[in-house]
Chains A and B, each alone.
Chain A
Amino acid sequence: MSTRKQSVPRSPVSKPAMAIDEHIVEILSDSGEGAQKCGQSFGSIAAKMGKGIWTLEIIPAEIQPPARSIEGGSGNRIRVAGHPVANGGDQADLVVAFNEQVLLGRLQANELKPGCIILLEDKWRTSPDAGIVASYTRVYDDLLARGFCVYEVPMEVECLKLVSDPRRGKNMFVLGLLCSLYSLDMQLAKEQIQFIFGRKGELVVTSNNRLLEAGWTWAENNLDFKYKIPTTPAKEAHIVVSGNIALGLGIMASGMEVCSMYPITPATSVSHYLSDVFEKVGGVVHQAEDEIAACAFAIGASYAGKCAVTITSGPGYSLKQECIGLAVMTEIPLVVIDVQRGGPSTGQPTKAEQGDLMTAIFGSHGDAPKVVMAASDIEDCFYSVITARKIAETFNTVVVLLSDASLATAQQPFTRPQFSEEWLAPPVDQSPVHDDDEPYDWDAGTGQSNRFIPGQPNGMHTLTGLAHDRTSSVAYNLEINRDAIQHRSLKLAALQKTLKPPPVFGDDEGELLVIGWGSTKGAIREAVDRVRADGRSVSALHLRFLQPMASGIKEILQRFDRVLAVENNWADSLDDAMIDEDNRRYSSLAWLLRAKYLIDVDCWGEVGEQPIKPGTVERIIRQHLDREQ
């Protein structure tokens, strides 16, 4: 017991802040105790001061999991740094836990750095329930024995001095405590409280401000350490949002008018946000009776001249396939957003996976060419929607935009977008149609054709999913169907000519090239940076367009001795006794690159880690570099 850190009040002065470059902080509680709000606020304040942040939600599998349970931990991870960060990092440096059980969950998942600092609510030590006391002291002693640096914090006792129900106030106490520990700006913290609770009235704001100050004072008086992370105040205004909010903002900024959806985790929060704000800018969120209807609704609205997006996740994406085929066939512009989750089937709704790439490219029956893009970070979620809409309307085609669960709830600051007219597609041409214009006047070079809107004089025609000719009459002739298929395919070729080769991160040539797509960009780049710091020859390439792929990629791949795809989807490992070159199932991008460029791309794919960490990618890279050729 002697090692137990006692909270002895001392004067708040003699405490120089230790300068550090970055820290990973976790706040863990039972669901409903507000750790999420605390973590997001902590991240926002740090970001507003000009620090780099990336926040990740720690989500329990159930809506209201049992209190004090290992699987019920809910909370937030915040990586704070003196430089921009693009992923949640490896293991936590400091953890605040509202009970010892939620902490155990993270410990088992190996998410805590050895010897890290743990700030633990101490009320369980004196609980009337002997079982709880026993569990608490057992875990506490075990943590000390394992070398963690545990400080007990009387959160409940301190909060009870100010509020009657500490379950609803502890989170702001902890925010104050963290503001002290990381030398954050208390004025910004108060503005954050005003922002969160302003709607609930002055009393609630005042009460939370008191809790905030109490936390700060307690830390100043009782903790013998303090940190300072460098700050680079941003020149322009920044916003801090999650990937899903960024998608919602992008939908509005792109001038889209219709978002149709059917609820599905982790995509739905985009529509929660839109249902609050979209109507104010003239948009409509339509919750359909299922994903098939949602897709059909979007196609109907697009036929009427509106620009429509339908948003979903795995199981819903599968249901949309038939309608996507119709949109390709009838050449109706459509943006489909798939916020991927763990599959197959109902799978793991709140967990990230990049498992839908193949379905996105090859889904729907017959030859159904569509554009497939993937957002690689939060800011990219915003801008990708704008690009997707442009392409959809330029080529009258379907554009699938892939995001995933790890971007959906993660937060990152980026420069506040300044609205530009260019983001909007030109208004749909509704002038009378010339007599010699046909609905499908396929351009011999680009495959592009017209888009006649119902009501447009002289533009009446039959829109049909049956094979059709240039006048949109049903085609009974094989040659006519072939003509149509060829021109729809041509649109992708024409788009491909406009795509610039993606930049290589690191040297342009060398030993190993790590290639990825989507949300793994931050982790891959950080890993490559770490290995390059040791003078090893490794570079990275990240693809934004998966279909068509930009020009010049083959040449880039050829400049490296070896190419390794790193993805958050399944890949058979050659270390498995049953697996050989002959029967190996590759990760999705590796399949595509091998087939397309006839290059021997190796792969590492994993579905067990949420999301993939830079440390993991670093280990894989080193293994590959050290492996005998």
Chain B
Amino acid sequence: MSDVAQNQFNIREYIRENLFPHFMCPGCGHGIALRALLNAVHDLGIDKNQLAIVSGIGCSGRVGAYIDANTFHTTHGRPLAFATGLKLARPDLEVIVITGDGDCLAIGGNHLIHACRRNLNLTCLMLNNEVYGMTGGQVSPTTSADRFTTTTQYGNHEPIFDACKLAEGAGAGFVGREMTLQTPALRDLIKEAIAHDGFSFIEVLSDCTEIFGRKNDMGESAEMVLAQKADFRSVSYGTEIGETFKPRGMKTGVLLRDDRPEYAMAYKRHNEKKLKQ
């Protein structure tokens, strides 16, 4: 009994409450994602001293600074590049990257595909809210067609990225997607991603309530979260959702698992071979 109580997840043990009140708007999906991540860290029993969180710039990136671990808030778009240096220098650390759709797919797109290609043992959590939240709601590479943003005042005309397909195509070892609505599923997906030995990419379907939601009359947080459900169908968690939902072809859950050699290990073996020659 006391064992169970000890193991119960208490978010206060993982966040820096002294930084409160926090910056997030009411109902922002990033907070839900943060909780799921910390819950996963707790369940896996990762020592906070051995945990490094590297984040980019954006509301998504700011989330990282609230975690009571070794956190590095870097430059816009490039947390993966910093994390690559960190992880290769200290493979013993658990390195998790938090990034946004703009951070990861626009300015950081290049770093993402190369991180996937290398397959270094990092976990990358991309909080996709379809918009540049922090800078006031500009269009991002995942903004749906016709959505209004501050730089698409007449609706978005650009096609979007499917971030998971991109990561798959670039060679990531583990790819998954989950919505903030399914918080336990998200937590479990993150656990699998961290446990995977290789580059793990997770797209979290988050919501920007204050800027994107308001601009597009999408209602309050609850309505936005429920709307996520209407568009996606879970394949690997639980049962089929209901007939009423209209899958748009995008899937959630684990989308790819490939056990190809992890970069640091492969590099080590390569060097050992070289030295023997």
Contact = CB atoms under 8 A, between A and B. Distances in A.
A343 interface: no
Contacts of B132: 263
Interface centre among B24, B77, B132, B138 (most CB of A within 10 A): B138
Contacts of A346: 57, 73, 75-76
B184 interface: no
Contact of A265 (B77, B136, B141): B136
Contacts of B106: 262, 289-290
Give the dominant DSSP class at A's interface.
loop
B173 interface: no
Contacts of A285: 151
A315 B75 contact: yes
A124 B106 CA distance: 46
Nearest to A290: B107
Interface in B193-231: 210-211
Contact of B109 (A69, A289, A291): A289
Contact of A287 (B21, B136, B151): B151
A63 B129 CA distance: 15
Contact of B153 (A262, A264, A275, A289): A275
B135 interface: yes
B152 interface: yes
A579 to B, nearest CB: 31
A346 B73 CA distance: 10
A346 B103 CA distance: 14
Interface string B68-104: 0000010111000000000000000000000000100
Interface in B122-162: 132-136, 138-139, 141, 150-153
B150 A275 contact: yes
A263 B134 CA distance: 10
A535 B186 CA distance: 72
A63 B28 CA distance: 12
Nearest to B209: A64
Contacts, number: 64
Contacts of A268: 135-136, 138, 150-151
B134 A63 contact: yes
A62 interface: yes
Contacts of B75: 315, 345-346
Contact of B135 (A69, A263, A275): A263
A262 B106 CA distance: 10
A575 interface: no
A67 B149 CA distance: 25
Interface magnitude class on chain A: 20 to 34
B23 A62 contact: yes
Given A64-B26, A263-B132, A276-B153, A287 B109 contact: no
B38 interface: no
Interface string A289-300: 111000000000
Interface centre among A62, A269, A276 (most CB of B within 10 A): A62
B67 interface: no
Contacts of B153: 272, 275-276
B21 A69 contact: yes
B59 interface: yes
A414 to B, nearest CB: 26
A275 B210 contact: no
Interface residues of B, number: 29
Contacts of B57: 346
Contacts of B44: none
Give the dominant DSSP class at B's interface.
loop
Interface string A217-248: 00000000000000000000000000000000
A290 B107 CA distance: 5
A66 interface: yes
Contacts of A345: 75
A69 B23 CA distance: 12
A271 B210 contact: no
B265 interface: no
B25 interface: yes
A536 B130 CA distance: 59
A154 interface: no
Nearest to A276: B153
A275 B154 CA distance: 8
Nearest to A345: B75
Interface string A340-358: 0000011000000000000
A271 B106 CA distance: 18
A65 B20 CA distance: 11
Contact of B136 (A65, A66, A263, A289): A263
B24 to A, nearest CB: 8
A63 B139 contact: no
A405 B26 CA distance: 27
A290 to B, nearest CB: 4
Given A262-B107, A276-B153, A287 B138 contact: yes
A263 B151 contact: yes
Contacts of B151: 263, 268, 271-272, 275, 285, 287
Contacts of A269: 136
B59 A63 contact: yes
A64 B107 contact: no
Interface in A372-411: none
Contacts of A66: 21
Nearest to A264: B135
Contacts of B26: 64
A369 to B, nearest CB: 28
A292 to B, nearest CB: 9
Contact of A289 (B133, B134, B141): B141
Nearest to B210: A64
Interface string A307-344: 00000000100000000000000000000000000000
5 closest A-B pairs by beta carbon, nearest first, are A64-B25, A290-B107, A66-B21, A263-B138, A263-B135
8 contacts: A63-B23, A63-B210, A63-B211, A65-B23, A263-B151, A268-B138, A287-B151, A289-B141
Given A268-B136, A289-B106, 18 more contacts: A62-B23, A63-B133, A63-B136, A63-B211, A64-B26, A69-B21, A265-B135, A268-B138, A268-B150, A271-B151, A272-B150, A272-B153, A275-B152, A287-B138, A287-B139, A290-B106, A290-B107, A291-B107
